[in-house]
Amino acid sequence: RLDGEFDWHAHDHDELFLCLDGTLDVEFRDRTETLGPGELLLIGKGEDHRPVASRGEVRLLMLDPAGSPNTGDHDTATVAVDA
């Protein structure tokens, strides 16, 4: 779940977002991609991006390799919280 803005970051692997509910904007340095329910976005390795849920909470599925930090950096990674 995401509500509001996440940090700008990049990964050393590809990342997949699947929007389950709500509207998700994924900002890139040169564009913004908007996802609605059922839509996918593949973010390429090293691509700087920031997920933004500015229209209310978004439920999404993110696919990353096991153990990878959500910010691409173990020092700045946030910890998931059960709601």
pLDDT tens per residue, range 8-51: 999 999 999 999 999 999 999 999 999 999 999 999 999 999 99
- The SS3 assignment for 54 reads strand
Binning pLDDT at 50, 70 and 90, where does residue 75 land? low
* pLDDT of amino acid 21: 98
Count up the domains in the chain and report the number. 1
Q: How far apart are CA 19 and CA 82, in angstroms?
A: 19
Q: CATH no. for residue 40? A: 2.60.120.10
Q: Please report whether residue 71 resides in a domain.
A: no
Q: Give kind and range of the element (H or E) at residue 28.
A: strand 24-28
Q: Please report whether residue 11 resides in a domain.
A: yes
Q: What is the pTM of this model?
A: 0.80
Q: Please report whether residue 77 resides in a domain.
A: no
Name the residue range of residue 29's domain.
2-63
* pLDDT of amino acid 70: 60
Q: How far apart are CA 34 and CA 24, in angstroms?
A: 6
